[in-house]
Structure 1
């Protein structure tokens, strides 16, 4: 029998073949279906990018208009799901509320007709349309307010920002938020995507697939890091405190949130775009002192550990962008999920095309031949 090499975290072990996205961590390249992320951020929209990922090609005008119409007209959630969400504790984290709500959708649409293209499309549309509504609804409900109904005249990103505070957003803020969704929509075989594909491989429904991925994304080592970046910047407090903070953290071998990536050994290309988006927001809506701290932190970290390939990742500047938009810190990761749903669904669809259930092996390191001890002898 061949002895398998154990690699913690399955590092460098391929889990699937995929044509959805490509990451070159040495050169700082991210592509969706072969298109560079910089080009999509500049020229595309979130729904167009989602279509590209899920169906494998850029839609023509008619196809994109039809997809947009389907999504924008499917954003309302059933009153029973709203009633269920009203029973969630106000102190609960929005990611936990989102996971429960996404799973609950499966109770209403649990038919697993996975060979039917109409079922596939309806599921994609429903999940992409309702996830933002549920995130916004819980945000208002936990404050004791009724949720705001979606507006059919607003686009995908503008409508979400509207549902958060019942105020139509500035066009620049809506566009920047849309770009943020593009940047977060997909990133190869990360933890939540792997979770989605494992769940998909059992041929369960897509609502369970998304719920499992949301639960994985909730962890601070994955999607939750941008919340901790803001907390870290607040703790540092001033530019003068940056160097002592970094030196102390490195001495204690403590993780500095927003830095380092399992794949990227240069600055994450999404972090570069997000930094530029933050500057655009500050130019129009006012300065944020924590940006100056972040820039100094990036400089000192490059000096101290840049030679080890530790640079800002996507989480480092995204929180500053959301913060300037007035979005609560604990909604940062649910917003990540709003974007990543399209990526998860692309992988769900790809998994179904040539499915085989995941069944990895393990390296057993326990004892053998242990005798059972009767309870009266223990």
Structure 2
């Protein structure tokens, strides 16, 4: 009863909210008048240059005779192509994510001895403080696992003897520990939620030190702790692809902004988690899965391209699914011709769909990936090409792995914590000024009115 009172929106609150909207609305024409780069992007969607990084690079175009030409998207981690990195991993029992995390943190590929040592460090830290699950994760479980994850990260501050020490050795220690425990915080948070809210059986499995991060996620999530080699491999690849994506994506830029203030690691990472939670960022693949659920109900023949195009057109006309006018999973802020992560995901989605007996659904995804850009080009005026992005396939892959939708974004975070950590350390090493962009005030100055009762 008490919680409903706190959540209630009263008529008084509605009135105050209307006042906020009335006095908070800014004339859109003023953004053009003052040349404001909304979203730190220009009119063509290109990001405003705000910093330098040596961690990763995104390429979506090339210069020919002084002209910018769109090209197949490429992603580089510390100079290495993500496609080469994925291709170099063995076919089974791959520590691909661990290799990726080492590369992002230290700037070079590990040899066998270095990788073994790094894996041992992760295994050593892959444990939670005594009674942490009981006292923190089990108490007041949230309906959103990202909030549970953020709360747990902030609470880890209390278990750290030197939480505010931002020397590189200490921050590195904190970051490796967070990389190690993110899967535990995420999955245990989900187990607590499904037990207390859904009445399901509660089981807390311990990770095994010899298993990869991907294998341990599947092990501690499933009641029987079982998984196939292909399932573990595909999840490992997904973690590699989501580990990093440049300094300008919203959550990584948040990491830079918050780290530039000199705050502690737990506060910086919790802020990044808050950013990633947003449906425009880490929650996008959930929208894709839900859109396809609706599509599979509305489109009777999944092989009929005319029927598919009709549904896609209704999406853009705000007459289908959530009436937002969007085809989720299509288009990207940087990539136009293709998203390299999506190309890789597509290949592994095909193999997993065969193992899971979902080839028909995979076929539907492939038809939408091909037809959607055509429909968008016909219906919308666009400045650059549109193609399927990584979220288009990741949600489908997660569903085939039987991951609950509540964990889609936390799994993203389990990967991206490696990139956030690398960027936090880079920000602290280079110790620039606190990040403080400008906002122009547009309200005219006003004389303060006399108070009631003044003489």
1:301 to 2:360 alignment: no
Q: Which residue of 1 aligns with 2:273?
A: 214
Report the Cα offset of residue 160 of structure 1.
1.1
Q: Which residue of 2 aligns with 1:156?
A: 213
Q: Which residue of 2 aligns with 1:8?
A: 38
1:146 to 2:198 alignment: no
CA contact (8 A) 1:229 1:315 kept: yes
Closer/same/farther in 2, CA of residues 351 and 283 from structure 1, 3 Å limit:
same
Report the Cα offset of residue 115 of structure 1.
2.1
Whole-Å Cα distance in 2 between the matches of residues 283 and 156 of structure 1?
24
1:22 to 2:57 alignment: yes
Q: Point out which structure has higher relative CO (alpha carbons under 8 A, 6+ apart).
A: 1
Whole-Å Cα distance in 2 between the matches of residues 358 and 137 of structure 1?
35
Q: Which residue of 2 aligns with 1:113?
A: 165
Report the Cα offset of residue 376 of structure 1.
6.8
Q: Which residue of 2 aligns with 1:344?
A: 420
Q: Which residue of 2 aligns with 1:174?
A: 232
Q: Which residue of 2 aligns with 1:131?
A: 182
Q: Which runs of 4+ in 1 moved over 3 A?
A: none
Task: Return the TM-score normalized by structure 2.
Answer: 0.78
Q: Which residue of 2 aligns with 1:248?
A: 314
Report the Cα offset of residue 6 of structure 1.
1.3
1:35 to 2:111 alignment: no
Could you tell me which runs of 5 or more consecutive residues in structure 1 were left unpaired when the two chains were aligned: none
Instruction: Single out whichever of 232-241 and 48-57 deviates more from structure 2.
Output: 232-241
Partner of 2:341, secondary structure, is: helix
Partner of 2:98, secondary structure, is: helix
CA contact (8 A) 1:261 1:313 kept: yes
1:316 to 2:392 alignment: yes
List per-residue Cα deviations over 1:55-80 (Å, max 9, x = no partner).
11112221111111010221111244
Partner of 2:176, secondary structure, is: helix
Whole-Å Cα distance in 1 between the matches of residues 184 and 352 of structure 2?
24
Task: Return the TM-score normalized by structure 1.
Answer: 0.93
Q: Which residue of 2 aligns with 1:374?
A: 451
Whole-Å Cα distance in 2 between the matches of residues 376 and 148 of structure 1?
69
Q: Which residue of 2 aligns with 1:52?
A: 103
Q: Which residue of 1 aligns with 2:341?
A: 270
Report the Cα offset of residue 140 of structure 1.
1.4
Q: Which residue of 2 aligns with 1:359?
A: 436
Whole-Å Cα distance in 1 between the matches of residues 354 and 361 of structure 2?
15
Report the Cα offset of residue 89 of structure 1.
3.4
What is the RMSD of the two structures over their aligned residues, measured on CA atoms? 1.9
Q: Which residue of 1 aligns with 2:284?
A: 225
Could you tell me which runs of 5 or more consecutive residues in structure 2 were left unpaired when the two chains were aligned: 1-32, 42-46, 62-70, 90-95, 196-201, 319-323
1:183 to 2:249 alignment: no
Task: Name the larger-Rg structure.
Answer: 2
Report the Cα offset of residue 334 of structure 1.
0.6
List per-residue Cα deviations over 1:252-306 (Å, max 9, x = no partner).
4712111111101112111111111111111223215432322221122122235
Report the Cα offset of residue 4 of structure 1.
7.0
Whole-Å Cα distance in 1 between the matches of residues 312 and 356 of structure 2?
30
Report the Cα offset of residue 114 of structure 1.
1.9
